[in-house]
């Protein structure tokens, strides 16, 4: 978890939630949505967003999802 909170429900955010928000909305965002609020706003299943995060981790196509070993 990070020190950031969801701008809608105030839930603690993970680095992946922040990365996905930046990927989908704005690379320079300073406020973020959690997966639950993102899925609700976009009208998609939360599982679809998790799948997208896993895709970016697996493929390494986006620097926002860089692996930290």
What are the backbone dihedrals phi and psi of residue 44, each rounded to the nearest 5 degrees, phi first?
-130, 160
pLDDT tens, 30-54? 999 999 999 999 999 999 999 999 9
CA atoms of 16 and 64, how far apart (whole Å)? 8
Question: pTM score, two decimals?
Answer: 0.90
The predicted model gives 6-32 an average pLDDT of 96
Is 7 domain-assigned?
no
Residue 55 domain boundaries? 15-65
Residue 56 belongs to some domain of the structure: yes
In a domain, 37, yes or no: yes
Number of domains in the chain: 1
Q: Is residue 69's pLDDT more than 70? A: no
Are 17 and 34 a contacting pair, CB within 8 Å?
A: yes
Q: Is residue 6 part of a domain?
A: no
């Amino acid at each position: 978890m990070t020190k950031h909170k969801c701008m809608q429900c105030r839930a603690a955010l993970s680095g992946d939630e922040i990365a996905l928000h930046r990927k989908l909305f704005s690379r320079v965002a300073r406020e973020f949505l959690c997966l639950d609020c993102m899925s609700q706003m976009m009208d998609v299943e939360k599982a679809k967003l998790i799948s997208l995060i896993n895709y970016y981790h697996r493929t390494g196509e986006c620097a926002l999802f860089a692996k930290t070993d």
